[in-house]
Amino acid sequence: MNKFPTEGNLQQAKELFIKSQEFQNKGQLVKAIDNLEEAFILLPTRDSIINNLLILYFTLKQREKLKIFLSQIQASQKQYLSNIGQLYLDYLDENFQKCIDCAKKLLNYEEQSSQIQLYDILIKSYFKTHNISKVFFYSRKLLRDKSNYDQRLFAVGNILLCLSKPRAARWFIQKSLDINFNSAYAFDLGFCFLQLKDFKNGFKYWNNRFDGHEAKNKLFTKIPSIRSLDVIQNKKILIWSEQGIGDTLNFARYIKLLKEHSSDITFVVQSQLFEFFKKFYTDIKIFKYDDVNHENYDFQISLISLINTLGSTYKEIPLEKFGYTNNYKKRHNISKVGFAHSGNPSYFRDSYRSIKSDIFQSIFSINEIKFYKINPHFELYVKRYENVEDIGHLPIYDIANKLNDFDIILTTDTFLVHLCGFLNINCILLLNYNSDWRWFNDYKYTKWYSSVRILKQKNVSDWGKVIDIIKRFLRSKSNKKIN
């Protein structure tokens, strides 16, 4: 690092900082980081460079980079920036209460310039600890500051979206975009429209995910993208899954609509789903990512973008049933129950959609029922309850083959609900109040799957009543026939 930067270094660092700001304003945060890291080498004492890097490492959840950078800040005696950086690191380490306590202390004596960042970390931490009243309290404080107002509006809109307030969220995010168009903000606006069942605008704005900071890199760029359905007749098409396993299972149904335009279709899926789709999609080619030859295709499109290109609407959601007949009217006692009460912990809203073990395990007191744990995470209760068996280690293909052996499946919003829906298996979705967009405002039934029934929270984070209903249901059906 240059302890005493030259005039040339100062000018170059300034130019790099300006470029980084331009990338940030567009939502291209990886490129912004690249420019700021170069600027930091040239000018390691400039507060604005340091603070922007802290924010970006935090936003992109680059924990290791943040930790290393924080040690460099501490060595440079930037105490208030070190305090902010430590808050970000505590948050990424899921020490949310520590974040709250330290941020509130810093608000009492930290300089004015960091106040907005402290409000932001308090909002995020209170959201994680499910203290919604505090979330709104600090959101109102955040909006009082008019500097970088587009960022303030988006922050509030994003929180409203996460709390399943899509109309209010849309207003705030749209206002932020009116001030400054940002691909990451536009991506979230797509979520608002989708939750309101507006597929046309929802998937259109979702196309910004390839530029927004949380989007995965676009794949297969050597193959031309499908711009119009008119040009793909008799062409070789590559469709690729880009998100989670549940998304692939959920949206694969749209591929059959593309078959009206081209008969030569290849679908690239996650390795965990390869054998599964080979079994059920016999009329198209199924590949793993590593097996794709770019030269074999005329056009490519991601599975999500396909929905937008097809112009599909909420009313036109295609139904798809494979494997088994609908078994929710089976007339026998419930004696075998498969379940999954937790999902991927890295998902931002996982603490809302997953049910903690100490709450869920009370259903195991129904000794007449044998329970089969399907979620992959290790749970101590498996050893404590004789009527619980762990099959979460099995591959998805093997799990799929076992599902029809169970009388019913209980699951939170995990890949399992999509697997059950895909195979037409009787399933009860235990749904959080602030659920993902694809469940809309559904409380009993979902347009995606005819075999799935929904049991949804009436209030945010209130799983107690949901579990009580499930226990009463299982007790009644463990000794009685299903009507």
Q: Is the pLDDT of residue 329 over 60?
A: no
Per-residue pLDDT band at 331 (split at 50, 70, 90): very low
* Rounded Cα distance, 416 and 244, in Å: 12
Residue pLDDT, tens place only, 340-351: 999 888 888 899
Cα atoms in the 13 Å half-sphere on the side-chain side of 284: 28
Per-residue pLDDT band at 482 (split at 50, 70, 90): very low
pLDDT mean across residues, the chain: 90
* Rounded Cα distance, 280 and 321, in Å: 10
* Rounded Cα distance, 143 and 58, in Å: 21
Please give the share of the chain, as a percent, with pLDDT higher than 90. Answer: 73
Q: Where are the alpha helices (DSSP H) in 211-335?
A: 245-251, 255-258, 274-280, 303-310
Cβ-based neighbour number of residue 253 at 10 Å = 17
Cα atoms in the 13 Å half-sphere on the side-chain side of 397: 11
Q: What is the mean predicted confidence (pLDDT) over 276-300? A: 93
Residue pLDDT, tens place only, 412-453: 999 999 999 999 999 999 999 999 999 999 989 999 999 999
Give the range among 95-99, 262-266, 292-296, 329-333 with minimum mean pLDDT. 329-333
The domain 7-179 is placed in CATH, from the list 1.25.40.10, 2.60.40.10, 1.10.3720.10, 3.40.50.1400, at 1.25.40.10
**Is residue 20 a contact partner of residue 32, using CB atoms and an 8 Å limit?**
yes
Terminal CA-CA length for the chain: 74
Q: Is the pLDDT of residue 140 over 90?
A: yes
Q: State the sign of the Cα–Cα–Cα–Cα dihedral 103, 133, 456, 169.
A: negative
What residue spans define the domains of the chain?
Answer: 7-179, 229-316, 336-477
H/E element, 210:
none
3-state helix, strand, coil in the chain (%, to 5): 55, 10, 35
**Is residue 267 a contact partner of residue 285, using CB atoms and an 8 Å limit?**
yes
* Rounded Cα distance, 50 and 31, in Å: 16
* Rounded Cα distance, 256 and 279, in Å: 16
Per-residue confidence (pLDDT) for residue 377, from 0 to 100: 86
Distance of alpha carbon 468 from the chain centroid: 28
Q: Is the pLDDT of residue 153 over 50?
A: yes
Q: Is the pLDDT of residue 330 over 90?
A: no
Per-residue confidence (pLDDT) for residue 357, from 0 to 100: 94
CATH topology for 336-477 is Rossmann fold (3.40.50)
251 three-state secondary structure: helix
Which tokens is 156 given?
Answer: 């509030």
Residue pLDDT, tens place only, 193-245: 999 999 999 999 998 888 765 445 578 888 999 989 999 998 999 999 988 99
* Rounded Cα distance, 120 and 105, in Å: 15
Q: Please state, in angstroms and as integers, the Cα–Cα distance from residue 320 to each residue in 18, 223, 299, following that order.
A: 51, 29, 25
pTM for the whole structure: 0.88
- Name which of 113, 134, 112, 114 is nearest 124 in CA terms: 134
**Most confident listed range (66-80, 98-112, 279-293):** 279-293
**Is residue 403 a contact partner of residue 409, using CB atoms and an 8 Å limit?**
yes
Per-residue confidence (pLDDT) for residue 9, from 0 to 100: 84
Residue pLDDT, tens place only, 365-396: 999 999 999 998 889 999 999 999 999 999 99
Q: What is the mean predicted confidence (pLDDT) over 278-290? A: 93
